[in-house]
Structure 1
Amino acid sequence: MFHVYGVGGRLYSGGAENLPVVPVQRIERLASVQQFMVDERPPEEPESLAATPAPPRSTLANDAVAAYGQAANPTLAPKRLPRLTSQVMTTTVVTVQADATLAEAAAWMLREHVGQAPVIDERQQLVGLLTRAQLLAAGADLEMSVREVMVSPVPAALPDTEVHLIAKVLLQADLPGLPVVDAEGGLSGFISRGDLLRVMADEPALEVWA
């Protein structure tokens, strides 16, 4: 189950199929705010490594068949697959205030090593989500408030939401992650694309996404 929050409070409660989300516009990285962003480019490989040929197709095919065989055979598959958001989410949530400046928010996010953060108002209620894209969209005007550029309304998941539904909403909304809230709307966690990728890497059985 999902909720949608904006500056006016909760706007929607229900399933993923009717979730009113607006895709986030992709924005090019701007030089004026690169000082606040972590360089995510992988280090250049030495020539000796760069020249190493890719593994043969037969090896990759064998890995795929092995993963499928694990999923099809209940005796080989993991006994407890992480199906729910509560099993995957990060419980330590880094938030930013809606009335903070972008310079303050960018510095805080960099210090905490996060690329996105739920935005809360003076009542500590969820009102939006701040991402790197919104920081970059602001250009050189880092004195703007977070409230002016944040994603809002923003979808939020409940802890008992199945992870495959989280993946669906992230794709539809083009967001890097979703806040997780309890029944009263209080923040209880955050689930990112990285969290979902870890599930896929650690639990290759196909039934986790069924």
Structure 2
Amino acid sequence: MFSIYGPTGREFKGTLEQMRRVSQVHAADRARAIEPAARDGHDSALREAVEFGAPMSAATTPGRAAAAAAYAAGQQPVHHAWHELLVSEVMHAPVLTVRADGRVDDALRQMALQGRGQAPVVNAQGILVGMVTRAELLGFVQWAEADTAAQAWAGWRAQDVQSVMLTPIPSVSRGADMRRVARALLDSGLPGLPVVTDEGLVCGFVSRTDVLRVALKDAGLDVWG
């Protein structure tokens, strides 16, 4: 099951197929949001996994090509079951969340301390309302004018997270399958999806890297090859 959460809480709950008809979760409508994800080279691998129900092809890197060739030479039967895994089997938890009424500066500090590239944003009740990514927040440095950069950057960091967060944001339940998660990631262009309870509380996070890790493991390929 998938949901969409905005500043006022849950705006949608239903299947992936139903959610795909909700325009605001598509990558075309969040050009700034997808830029960091598009640069990581994961899109083609995710697309292949979604369309063929199999992990990324051996042509991705020389190391993976060699591993795939060796695997094929052994004539071992391949059963790609990664897409049948549930979110609860793949997600990582606990997950870093930041408050919507907190400062951008504090959010960046927390993400840096915990080595996170993104964080779901929650309200005072702990309900999902959006997401921030470190690449998105730090991207401000690139477009600030040089002569006013320091002052502008200080003002940017002092803002509330809710004024700069990505919202509305898609989320997923613990019981969804990974193939649909991969499809949702392609549609949204996001680096990952928050995992939420029925009440909208964030209980985990599943990223593009998580999807690729289980897909490659299923094929017997080294993730870092």
- CA distance 1:6–1:67, shift in 2 (3 Å): farther
Matched, 1:191 2:206: yes
- CA distance 1:67–1:83, shift in 2 (3 Å): farther
> CA contact under 8 A between 1:134 and 1:150: conserved in structure 2?
no
SS in 2 for 1:100: coil
1:84-143: CA deviations, max 9, x gaps? 100000021100011111111101100011001010111211100111243034442211
More helix by share: 2
Gaps of 5+ in 2: 41-61, 142-152, 221-225
Question: How many pairs were matched up?
Answer: 175
> CA contact under 8 A between 2:117 and 2:135: conserved in structure 1?
no
- CA distance 1:3–1:67, shift in 2 (3 Å): farther
1:182 counterpart (189, 192, 197): 197
Superposition RMSD on alpha carbons, in Å? Answer: 2.8
> Which residue of 2 is the match for residue 48 of structure 1?
none
2:122 counterpart (120, 123, 132): 120
SS in 1 for 2:10: strand
Q: Give 1:52-201 correspondences, 5 Å limit.
A: 59=66, 62-63=69-70, 65=72, 69-71=76-78, 83-139=85-141, 140=153, 141-201=156-216
Larger radius of gyration: 1
Gaps of 5+ in 1: 30-39, 41-53, 206-210
- CA distance 1:17–1:66, shift in 2 (3 Å): farther
Identity value in percent: 35
